[in-house]
Chains A and B, each alone.
Chain A
Amino acid sequence: MKTIFEKSVAGREGCWPCEGLAEEAYIPTELLRDGDIGLPSASELDVVRHFTKLSQRNMGVDGNFYPLGSCTMKYNPKFTEVVAGLPGFTRLHPVLPQLQGAGGLCQGALEVMYETEHLLSEITGMHAYTLHPMAGAHGELTGVMLMAAYHKDRGNKKTKIIVPDSAHGTNPASAAIAGYDVVTVESVNGIVDPDALAAVLDDEVAGMMMTCPNTLGLFETHLPKIVKMLRKVDALLYYDGANLNAIMGKMRVGDVGFDIVHLNLHKTFATPHGGGGPGSGPVGVCEKLKQFLPISRVAKQEDGQFYLDYNHPKSIGYIAPFYGNFGVVLKAYAYILRLGGVGLTRATENAVLAANYMRKRLDGHLEVPYDRICMHEFVASAADQAKKGVRALDFAKALLDKGHHAPTIYFPLIVPESIMIEPTETENKETLDHFIDDLIEIAQLVDTNPEALQAAPVTLPVTRLDETKAARGMELTDDL
């Protein structure tokens, strides 16, 4: 497919009636560009066809079922785009709330941040939030920095952070980047085992990072015991909110005893992600950690006015420019208000129901190693099929030919040939059935026509990619 630049023919143009202010009205004349900017010339129809075709080559939630385990690729309702596109928000300058006397011009935006922090506190049972982290892993790093600040303040000598082998892959990375030694605790029967934890827990442990449900989609049933054990050595418990979609409205992590939590607004709260948009990883803390949160903090005066408060001497300081990805926060705020407490809880119930429905329908067709009631996702294994030459990768590619986005494969690492399926709450039963029917058909082909699976996909614009060559011979730049 040619690029729009290659399709450009000098002199062709479209027309679009302008509304509102022209750029000239608010950009100083001396800052306006006077030369040609080299944009392609094309008619409106050329442009429409080009970008429509380009979008059709992409596989996204708007067009296809997207059961990418661990990623919560739920549908992103379009009304939140309308809210995020309101000119009262899009035309704000991020410096406004920091300018003397200009705070009054951005009260709405400050209120959105203030209210979102409080809604997230209510949903998770935490005491306070920062919205600054730009995505999940940034939230983790912020959380671990908060742990470090807490221990430093108390004069604790802590060098280690415990991460279960069923945790998210970014957890050990975040702990290591913050300067801690990472200690792995192995799962027993798919979850963290108190005895295994006791074997690695000592006074040098700063904290433990958990995902609940974990990456196997299993609920961690020993949480109360784990909380007690950690408190004994003054270690903090961190909740990786990547899987909040399984417990939202059902369990508040703060009530259970988690000290720090990060949420992925771009997952649980339905804002676009992956190729579709930036993330947002707010971090919530219990009361004793509030003083360490990053600055600035949005605060409310007695007269109801909102302002930015920088007066927090024990804060870990700045972790991001300005206030995080405000547009994402805005969409999440709209989503939370639209669904309300009842809606958020029903979303959770439907997500868990959909995953369990699919898991049961796979019975006898594909092995599910930890086969018990799961939460919002489950992990199947193609280990038996791999012995016949058809691996998880081939299943994933064959599903593309059937018009589905592939599930996550080869993660978590503790299940060989893993296929991790997360349907989310936004899919109807027909879609779930369609996917499972196709997956069963593929599993049956393993015996009758394995070659067809090994050759998949054959219906897409690009067929089987050479992943090895892509990784070995990386060329990340191009002479344009």
Chain B
Amino acid sequence: MIPEDLLYAKSHEWVMVEGDIATVGITQFAQEQLGDLTFIELPEVGDAFEAGNEMGSVESVKAASEIYAPVTGEVIEVNEELEDAPEKVNEEPYGDGWLLKFKIKGEPEGLLDAEGYADAINAEAD
């Protein structure tokens, strides 16, 4: 269920690091909890964030929720297709439903591996 090759923030974002580029999305667990997404507000290319900063929000039929930058760096690409098709995040959170790409500054810190994230979800459920 939780891809082994990704890193995870406790706030339910996933990160795929390739060199100094990090692709970011929200996890399967997050999209399930939110339900069908209706709107996604993302930052713009060129915006810079520190890990843990609020960088946008997602709205579903149930609620609105913030999304946080899991890494420190600058946004270099945003998944434009989500504006018209937020359902991609529900359908393929780890694939076509990716949110944005960062050029990261320094090494990612404080992220969990798949096992650590699974534990975090279980702790939250209890």
B70, CB-defined interface residue at 8 Å = no
Distance between Cα atoms of A416 and B63 in the complex (Å): 11
| B61 interface neighbour in A413, A416, A467, Cβ under 8 Å | A467
A410-B86 CB under 8 A given contacts A467-B36, A471-B38: no
A311, CB-defined interface residue at 8 Å = no
Give the shortest distance, in Å, between A176 (CB) and chain B (any CB).
14
Q: Is the CB–CB distance between A468 and B38 below 8 Å?
A: yes
Q: Is the CB–CB distance between B63 and A471 below 8 Å?
A: no
B87, CB-defined interface residue at 8 Å = yes
Give the shortest distance, in Å, between B86 (CB) and chain A (any CB).
7
A225, CB-defined interface residue at 8 Å = no
B62, CB-defined interface residue at 8 Å = yes
Chain B residues near A471: list those with CB within 8 A: 36, 38-39, 59, 61
Distance between Cα atoms of A467 and B36 in the complex (Å): 9
A410-B36 CB under 8 A given contacts A468-B87, A472-B86: no
| B63 interface neighbour in A410, A467, A468, A472, Cβ under 8 Å | A410
B 5-59 contacts with A by CB, 8 A:
33, 36, 38-39, 59
0/1 string, A455-476, CB within 8 A of B gives 1: 0000000000001100110000
Chain B residues near A410: list those with CB within 8 A: 62-63
Distance between Cα atoms of A416 and B87 in the complex (Å): 22
Residue of B nearest to A387 (CB): B125
Q: Is the CB–CB distance between B86 and A413 below 8 Å?
A: no
Residue of B nearest to A473 (CB): B38
0/1 string, B45-86, CB within 8 A of A gives 1: 000000000000001011100000000000000000000001
Chain A residues near B63: list those with CB within 8 A: 410, 413
Q: Is the CB–CB distance between B62 and A468 below 8 Å?
A: no
Interface size bracket, B side = 10 to 19
Number of interface residues of A (CB under 8 A): 7
Residue of B nearest to A410 (CB): B62
Give the shortest distance, in Å, between B80 (CB) and chain A (any CB).
17
Distance between Cα atoms of A110 and B80 in the complex (Å): 58
Residue of A nearest to B38 (CB): A471
Chain B residues near A468: list those with CB within 8 A: 36, 38, 61, 87
Give the shortest distance, in Å, between B60 (CB) and chain A (any CB).
8
Distance between Cα atoms of A416 and B36 in the complex (Å): 16
0/1 string, A280-311, CB within 8 A of B gives 1: 00000000000000000000000000000000
Distance between Cα atoms of A472 and B47 in the complex (Å): 27
Distance between Cα atoms of A472 and B36 in the complex (Å): 10
Residue of B nearest to A474 (CB): B38
Distance between Cα atoms of A410 and B36 in the complex (Å): 14
Give the shortest distance, in Å, between B93 (CB) and chain A (any CB).
16
Chain A residues near B38: list those with CB within 8 A: 468, 471-472
Give the shortest distance, in Å, between A419 (CB) and chain B (any CB).
13
Chain A residues near B87: list those with CB within 8 A: 468, 472
Residue of B nearest to A409 (CB): B62
A 399-429 contacts with B by CB, 8 A:
410, 413, 416
Distance between Cα atoms of A468 and B59 in the complex (Å): 11
Residue of A nearest to B59 (CB): A471
Chain B residues near A416: list those with CB within 8 A: 33
Chain B residues near A472: list those with CB within 8 A: 38, 86-87
Chain B residues near A467: list those with CB within 8 A: 36, 61
Distance between Cα atoms of A298 and B39 in the complex (Å): 46
Q: Which of B38, B39, B63 counts the most chain A CB atoms within 10 A? A: B38
Distance between Cα atoms of A472 and B62 in the complex (Å): 13
Distance between Cα atoms of A468 and B39 in the complex (Å): 10
0/1 string, A99-143, CB within 8 A of B gives 1: 000000000000000000000000000000000000000000000
Give the shortest distance, in Å, between A182 (CB) and chain B (any CB).
12
Residue of A nearest to B33 (CB): A416
Distance between Cα atoms of A410 and B35 in the complex (Å): 11
Give the shortest distance, in Å, between B81 (CB) and chain A (any CB).
14
Residue of A nearest to B90 (CB): A468
Distance between Cα atoms of A468 and B34 in the complex (Å): 12
Distance between Cα atoms of A471 and B63 in the complex (Å): 12
Residue of A nearest to B32 (CB): A386
Chain A residues near B33: list those with CB within 8 A: 416
Distance between Cα atoms of A472 and B38 in the complex (Å): 5
Give the shortest distance, in Å, between B26 (CB) and chain A (any CB).
17
Given contact pairs A467-B36, A471-B36, a sample of 8 additional A-B residue pairs in the complex whose CB atoms are under 8 Å apart:
A410-B63, A467-B61, A468-B61, A468-B87, A471-B38, A471-B59, A472-B38, A472-B87
> Which residues of B come within 8 Å of A, CB atoms?
33, 36, 38-39, 59, 61-63, 86-87
The 5 listed contacts between A and B (C-beta, < 8 Å) are A410-B63, A413-B63, A468-B87, A471-B61, A472-B87
